[in-house]
Each structure stands twice: as C-alpha cells, then as structure tokens.
C-alpha cells in the first residue's frame, strides 16, 4: 500500500513538472501553430542562467533572472526567427526550432563542460515530508504547489482576462481576430514569453537530486523531453489536456520505474502516448483537424 502511495506521490510530483512544461508548449502551439522543439532548450537556458548567477545573486535572485531570461529568449526566437518566416509551413517551422534547439543545447552543454553536475533546488533540496507511510521529496512537493498555483492562475487568466480573450480569439481565427483589432504579435510574443518562463520554472525542480539523479542540470534537457509526449497525448490544442497529459506521463513513468525498471520508465511514457494516439489521433482533448479538399 505504501509503495502504491509512493508511486502516486512521485508520479504526481513529476507530473506537475511535466504539466508546467507541456502547458507552455501548448500555449505556444495555440498562438503560433508551431511545435516548439526548442522547449527543452528554453528550460536548459533558464537553468544555466540560474546556475551562473547563483553565486552572486543568491538562489532567489538568480531564479528570477533565469525565468526572465528564458522568457526573453522565447520572445527573441519568436520575433527574430519565426515572425520572419510567416509563409513557411508549420512543419518547416518545427524543424527550424529543432535547429535552434541544437544550437542552444550544444552551447549550454559546452559551457557546463564536464565539471560537477549543477543542482538548482537549493531551498527545498533536502526537504522531505511523510505522507500515509510514504515520503514526498522537497522538489516534487514544491513543484506540485507551484504548478497548482501557476496553472490555476493561468486558467483564470485564460478564461477571464483580456489577454486570455485575445489569445482564444486568435487561436480560433487569426484573420478575424486581427480585424477585431487584436495585435497578433503581442499575443504570440506573450505566449512565447509565458512558455519560456514556465519552462525555466520547471527546470528549478528538474535539476535536483530526486528528479534528475546525479547528473543535475546536464540531464535536464532529456527529462524535459518527456513534455512532448505529455502535450501530444493531451492534445496539442488543449491547455487542460496538457495538464492531464503531464500527470499521465508522470504517473506512467513512476509506476514503470517502480514495478519494472528505471530504463523502462523512459520508454513507458512513449508507449502510453502511442496507445493514446492510435485510439485518438489528435490526443485526448485535442481539436480534430478539419481538412478541406
């Protein structure tokens, strides 16, 4: 029983991290129809900034800078690269973000070098809370709390604020939204900023001993990769689906790690996604694409 509770706790904690990443991913997709393969690199970039500034600014200041930097990088990618390729097919733009991902990943990995693995979870790294005979690790607990607050805040803003209205309008119909006076570039840039910020917040929980293991920040890009199946199986057009997808991925991973082995956990995530996609080709909550002949 306590093993099962442990699996649930680990799964939910990691699921919260994936949900943060996947939500940013989906927001970017909704506003620009671009699959952002550089999402893991946005996170890694934010993490690197935190790592670099931590000795001078302290954890909190560095974390703030990292989040802002990742958001700025997101806006930069959107404004400098994607906004200049409006005519390109969305699959080409996805490939473009793969190029961006390769560049950022290579450069950050090179800068990190082979030195000792950096960890970013200073305030909650050593926290442990007992719960029904199981323990929840600090990073996972704080990830869960942060995710509840941020994701809750996002849905409120998405539903009730003007920003949320413009974003929903634009994803519904870009031309009509533009004719209604919605400034398209503001919507897309804010979506990329939000995606970058959420990714950088997620990295604060990934680059910790319980989540990334001994490799710390250097393993973060690979872990963040699990946000893709999360977003895809939830349905790329649905923010709610991203949260569900994140939890499904987290639970699949933790139960596979517990009952089979750690290597299979990485595969299980993708197998779950494959099964969902075969049953529902647009994900659990995704909008089925209408094709006009």
CA 23 to chain centre: 6
Closest distance of CB 55 from other proteins, Å: 15
Segment near other proteins (CB under 8 A); pick from 68-76, 161-169, 206-214, 222-230? 222-230
Residues in 246-275 that interact with other proteins by CB under 8 A: 263-264, 266-267, 269-271, 273-274
What distance in Å separates the CA atoms of residue 20 and residue 246, rounded to the nearest whole number? 8
Is 31 or 146 the residue whose CB approaches other proteins more closely? 31
49 touching other proteins, by CB under 8 A: no
What distance in Å separates the CA atoms of residue 39 and residue 32, rounded to the nearest whole number? 14
Is 71 or 108 the residue whose CB approaches other proteins more closely? 108
- The phi, psi pair for 115, rounded to 5°, reads -65, 175
# chain residues binding other proteins, by CB under 8 A: 49
86 touching other proteins, by CB under 8 A: no
DSSP string, 57-80: HHHHHHHHHHHHHHHHHHHHIIII
Is 8 or 112 the residue whose CB approaches other proteins more closely? 112
Here the tokens at position 33 are: 């129809």
Is 142 or 192 the residue whose CB approaches other proteins more closely? 192
Distances (CA, A) of 27 to 20, 151, 167: 11, 12, 9
Is 84 or 162 the residue whose CB approaches other proteins more closely? 84
Helices (H), the chain: 2-32, 39-76, 90-112, 138-160, 162-172, 174-179, 184-206, 209-212, 220-224, 227-234, 239-259, 262-279
Segment near other proteins (CB under 8 A); pick from 62-70, 90-98, 134-142, 150-158? 90-98
Residues making contact with other proteins (CB under 8 A)? 35, 81, 84-85, 88, 90-96, 98-103, 105-107, 110-114, 221-222, 225, 228-229, 232, 236, 263-264, 266-267, 269-271, 273-274, 277-278, 281-283, 291, 293
């Amino acid at each position: 029983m306590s093993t099962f509770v442990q699996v649930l706790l680990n799964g939910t904690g990691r699921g919260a991290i994936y949900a943060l990443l996947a939500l940013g991913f989906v927001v970017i997709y909704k506003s620009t129809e671009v699959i952002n393969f550089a999402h893991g690199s946005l996170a890694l970039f934010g993490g690197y900034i935190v790592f670099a500034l931590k000795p001078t600014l302290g954890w909190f200041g560095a974390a703030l800078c990292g989040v802002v930097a990742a958001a700025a990088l997101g806006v930069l990618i959107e404004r400098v690269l994607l906004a200049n390729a409006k005519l390109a097919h969305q699959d080409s733009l996805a490939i473009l973000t793969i190029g961006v991902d390769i560049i950022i990943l290579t450069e950050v990995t090179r800068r990190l070098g082979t030195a000792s693995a950096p960890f970013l979870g200073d305030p909650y790294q050593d926290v442990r809370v007992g719960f029904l005979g199981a323990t929840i690790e600090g990073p996972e607990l704080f990830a869960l709390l942060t995710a509840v607050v941020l994701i809750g805040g996002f849905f409120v803003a998405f539903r009730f604020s003007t920003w949320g209205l413009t974003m929903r309008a634009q994803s519904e119909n870009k031309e009509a939204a533009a004719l209604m006076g919605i400034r398209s570039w503001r919507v897309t840039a804010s979506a990329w900023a939000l995606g970058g910020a959420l990714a950088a917040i997620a990295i604060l929980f990934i680059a910790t001993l319980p989540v990334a293991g001994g490799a710390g920040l250097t393993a973060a890009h690979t872990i963040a990769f699990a946000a893709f199946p999360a977003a895809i199986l939830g349905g790329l057009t649905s923010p709610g689906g991203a949260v569900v997808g994140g939890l499904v991925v987290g639970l699949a991973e933790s139960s596979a790690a517990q009952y089979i082995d750690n290597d299979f956990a990485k595969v299980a995530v993708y197998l779950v996604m494959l099964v969902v996609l075969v049953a529902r080709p647009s994900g659990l909550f995704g909008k089925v694409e209408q094709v006009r002949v």
